[in-house]
């Protein structure tokens, strides 16, 4: 069955002008127009690509937060249908400040424990979220060591690097801080997941949500230069960032998204991890 016929069967109306969109490194992404005048975005992938979970996360954000996210029209493991949101503009300084307002508001949402009610995904990879009372334990066991082991099992992370990560993980209490309370995070805030139009954030897509230390989200926004000074200045008007974050903790938190990229792509991301470990003496 063609994708057009499948969509018509689900939506009860034809989809016109179905055209590919950029940005789908894990799934294929299309935009289409419905007869009733709505525009939709369609993501397709294999049955283990996490699209059902992505729909579940977007629904959660739509129901529990103020983030602009697409409406989920239909989701299953290999298909996600969402409303289309305007985008296409570069992030201006004004848009960065709007993003800071949104992300600070998101981080104000808390829970009794770290983790989440269900397993989420990042880049199509499973992201376990067992409820854990302390942040450092959660970050060590269910982020760093979990993703390192997954990358090691498929032979994209060398044994020596794996061993160095294990040894480093035993010292996290020296470097990291426990937050006053868990914060809900988007989890995958790079530029491709941030939609902007007319100097405003119109959508935050492809989430990888869980309750965490907000610093891991802030760190990730620096990995691919998503935001600049105007974002951080505005964010700190809402939520002050503890001293030492930029100097010490930021690089430690970025080990996790680097491990995700090692698992997905291998290559030079391994050397970035090794450089970080060397900086901290491992």
55-107 pLDDT per residue, tens = 999 999 999 999 999 999 999 999 999 999 999 999 999 999 999 999 999 99
pLDDT at 45: 85
What is the set of domains in the chain, with CATH numbers? 3-83 (3.30.200.20), 93-279 (3.90.1200.10)
DSSP codes of every residue in 177-231:
---SS-EEE-S--SGGGEEEETTEEEEE-S---EEE-HHHHHHHHHHTT---HHH
Alpha helices (H) along the chain: 3-11, 51-64, 93-107, 135-139, 145-153, 159-169, 172-175, 214-223, 229-238, 250-253, 255-265, 269-279
106-154 pLDDT per residue, tens = 999 999 999 999 999 999 999 999 999 999 999 999 999 999 999 999 9
Query: C-alpha dihedral over 19, 22, 23, 24, to 10 degrees?
Result: 40
* Pairing of the two strands 125-127 and 120-122: antiparallel
pLDDT over 70 at 23, yes or no: no
pLDDT at 25: 59
What does the block give as tokens for 91? 């992030």
Selection from 108, 234, 280, 249 nearest residue 182 by Cα: 108
Give the SS3 label for residue 89: coil
What does the block give as tokens for 154? 């498929």
Selection from 188, 191, 221 nearest residue 206 by Cα: 188
| Per-residue pLDDT band at 226 (split at 50, 70, 90) | very high
């Amino acid at each position: 069955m063609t994708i057009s016929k499948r969509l018509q069967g689900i939506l009860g109306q034809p989809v016109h002008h179905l055209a590919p969109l950029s940005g789908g490194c894990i799934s294929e992404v299309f935009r289409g127009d419905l007869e009733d005048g709505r525009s939709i975005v369609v993501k397709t992938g294999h049955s283990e690509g996490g699209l059902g979970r992505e729909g579940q996360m977007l629904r959660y954000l739509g129901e529990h937060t103020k983030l602009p996210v697409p409406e989920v029209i239909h989701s299953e493991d290999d298909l996600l249908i969402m409303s289309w949101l305007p985008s296409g503009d570069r992030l201006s300084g004004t848009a960065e400040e709007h993003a800071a307002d949104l992300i600070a508001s998101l981080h104000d949402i808390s829970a009794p424990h770290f983790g989440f009610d269900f397993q989420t995904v990042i880049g199509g990879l499973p992201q376990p979220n067992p409820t854990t009372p302390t942040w450092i334990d959660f970050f060590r066991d269910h982020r760093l060591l979990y993703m390192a082991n997954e990358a090691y099992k498929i032979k994209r992370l060398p044994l020596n690097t794996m061993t160095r990560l294990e040894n480093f993980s035993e010292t996290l209490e020296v470097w990291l801080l426990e937050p006053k309370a868990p914060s809900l995070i988007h989890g995958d805030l790079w530029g491709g997941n941030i939609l902007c139009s007319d100097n405003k954030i119109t959508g935050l897509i492809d989430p990888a949500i869980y309750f965490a230390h907000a610093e891991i989200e802030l760190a990730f926004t620096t990995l691919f230069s998503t935001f600049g000074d105007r974002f951080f200045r505005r964010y700190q008007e809402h939520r002050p960032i503890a001293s030492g974050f930029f100097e010490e903790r930021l690089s430690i938190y970025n080990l996790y998204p680097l491990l995700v990229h090692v698992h997905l792509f291998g290559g030079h991301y391994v050397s970035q991890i090794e450089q970080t470990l060397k900086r901290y003496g491992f």
